[in-house]
Amino acid sequence: MRTLALLFSLFFLFAGCTDQSQPTSQSGTPNSGSAAVEDVGTIGFSALTLKNPFFKIIADSITQEAGKHGFEVIVNDAETDVNTQSKHIDNYIAQKVTAIIINPADRVAIGPAIQKANEAGIPVFTCDLQCVAEDVEIAGHIGTDNYQGGRLAGEAMIEALGESGGQVLVLHFKQANSCVERVRGFMDVVNAHNESDATGKIEVVAELEGGGLRDQGFRATADALQAHPELSGIFAINDPSALGAYTALEQANKTDQIVIIGFDGQLEGKQAIKEGKIYADPIQFPKKMGVVSVAKVVQYLNGEEIEKVELIPTELYRQADAEADPELQ
């Protein structure tokens, strides 16, 4: 009994020497020093669609860059559905995230969900795709200068069709403000060309919904080939829809008749340009978008003034660029 009492005494002695109040870091290890380290926080990111490699790059870039600043990142796939994305935002609010970044699935319809985040005091940032809904507060936006990119696409189409000109199909995705701007830039250049004395007039005979996806781009192009057998060109608002369009041309044996101008500069798109399937792309820089989005979040949370809208210019990427591209070697 005396031995047992001695063991209990020793236990309480050593237990009393342990500092049970020492704070722990996010990794669960004790922090050095006497001051507690404040939790940095969590960023919720709702991607338009992770099936598109472009948005997967943005998601990975945000996750990696945010990690450098001590943030945890929750990534969700909206699958191009505004209702799904609205639920993501509701969940972020319930989880009391520090900030939200989204690629809006619908430039207007996402407004009410963003308003809820505004009311909860959670800053919302948009990346690549802008929100144009009324009565919402967007803390900051980083994206591509899509209008400038659309103008480059128009110039590439004029270049590709040359003096012959011809009928052109536009594969659109009107839910996204970025795509509206791309088509606007494209049409401004084409219209200006048609109003000049230059040869090679271009007639846009159809604007069809391509969904920004390969399968929808394929179906829309196949339908257009039936209605407009004399097509000479296609402007697709991104690489997946451009690649879907090319598959439709292959099946109709019209790859030699019709040129495709895409948009994005994804690896598959660049490879298609190298192989001559796509004539050219105004290329974007999704990794940079992710990095700058996180920088804006950090600056905003630190109380710094930030540029509300920051647009990154595109660059026109042709076959010669693809042949010299180290990514494709």
Q: Taking the model in full, what pTM does it have?
A: 0.78
Q: Is residue 206 part of a domain?
A: yes
| Whole-number percent of the chain with pLDDT over 90 | 85
Q: Is residue 6 part of a domain?
A: no
Spatial separation of the C-alpha atoms in residues 298 and 295, rounded to whole Å: 5
Residue that the structure tokens 């069809």 belong to: 208
Strands 309-312 and 140-144: parallel
Joined tokens for residue 329: 């070697």
Q: Is residue 198 part of a domain?
A: yes
Q: What is the pLDDT of residues 4-29, one digit of tens each?
A: 344 334 333 333 333 333 322 233 33
- Taking each helix axis from N to C end, the angle separating 267-274 and 239-251, rounded to the nearest 10 degrees, works out to 40
Q: Are residues 78 and 164 in the same domain?
A: no
Angle at alpha carbon of residue 126, lines to 188 and 90, rounded to 5°: 135
- Are 314 and 284 spatial neighbours (Cβ–Cβ below 8 Å)? yes
* pLDDT tens by residue, the chain, 329 residues: 444 344 334 333 333 333 333 322 233 333 333 333 256 899 999 999 999 889 999 999 999 999 999 999 999 999 999 999 999 999 999 999 999 999 999 999 999 999 999 999 999 999 999 999 999 999 999 999 999 999 999 999 999 999 999 999 999 999 888 899 999 999 999 999 999 977 899 999 999 999 999 999 999 999 999 999 999 999 999 999 999 999 999 999 999 999 999 999 999 999 999 999 999 999 999 999 999 999 999 999 999 999 999 999 999 999 999 999 999 98
Spatial separation of the C-alpha atoms in residues 51 and 245, rounded to whole Å: 18
Its domain, for residue 278, covers 146-283+318-328
Q: Is 65 helix (H, G, I), strand (E, B) or coil?
A: helix
Q: What is the pLDDT of residues 31-51, one digit of tens each?
A: 333 333 256 899 999 999 999
Q: Are residues 92 and 173 in the same domain?
A: no
- Total number of domains in the chain: 2
Q: Are residues 159 and 255 in the same domain?
A: yes
Q: Are residues 255 and 158 in the same domain?
A: yes
Q: Are residues 187 and 271 in the same domain?
A: yes
Spatial separation of the C-alpha atoms in residues 291 and 64, rounded to whole Å: 8
Q: Are residues 134 and 255 in the same domain?
A: no
Q: Are residues 108 and 171 in the same domain?
A: no
Q: Is residue 267 part of a domain?
A: yes
Domain at 229, CATH number:
3.40.50.2300
Q: Are residues 117 and 133 in the same domain?
A: yes
Which amino acid appears at position 113 of this protein?
A
- Taking each helix axis from N to C end, the angle separating 214-227 and 239-251, rounded to the nearest 10 degrees, works out to 50
Q: Is 38 helix (H, G, I), strand (E, B) or coil?
A: coil
Q: Are residues 80 and 46 in the same domain?
A: yes
Q: Are residues 136 and 49 in the same domain?
A: yes
Q: CA torsion 52→56→59→63, rounded to 10°?
A: 170
Supply the pLDDT for residue 216: 97
Spatial separation of the C-alpha atoms in residues 97 and 209, rounded to whole Å: 35
Q: Are residues 122 and 172 in the same domain?
A: no
Backbone angles phi, psi at 151, to 5 degrees: -65, -40
Please give the helix or strand (H or E) that residue 144 lies within, else none: strand 140-144
Joined tokens for residue 12: 């309480």
Joined tokens for residue 44: 């919720």
Q: Is residue 254 part of a domain?
A: yes
- Are 232 and 164 spatial neighbours (Cβ–Cβ below 8 Å)? yes
Q: Is residue 16 part of a domain?
A: no
Q: Is residue 158 part of a domain?
A: yes
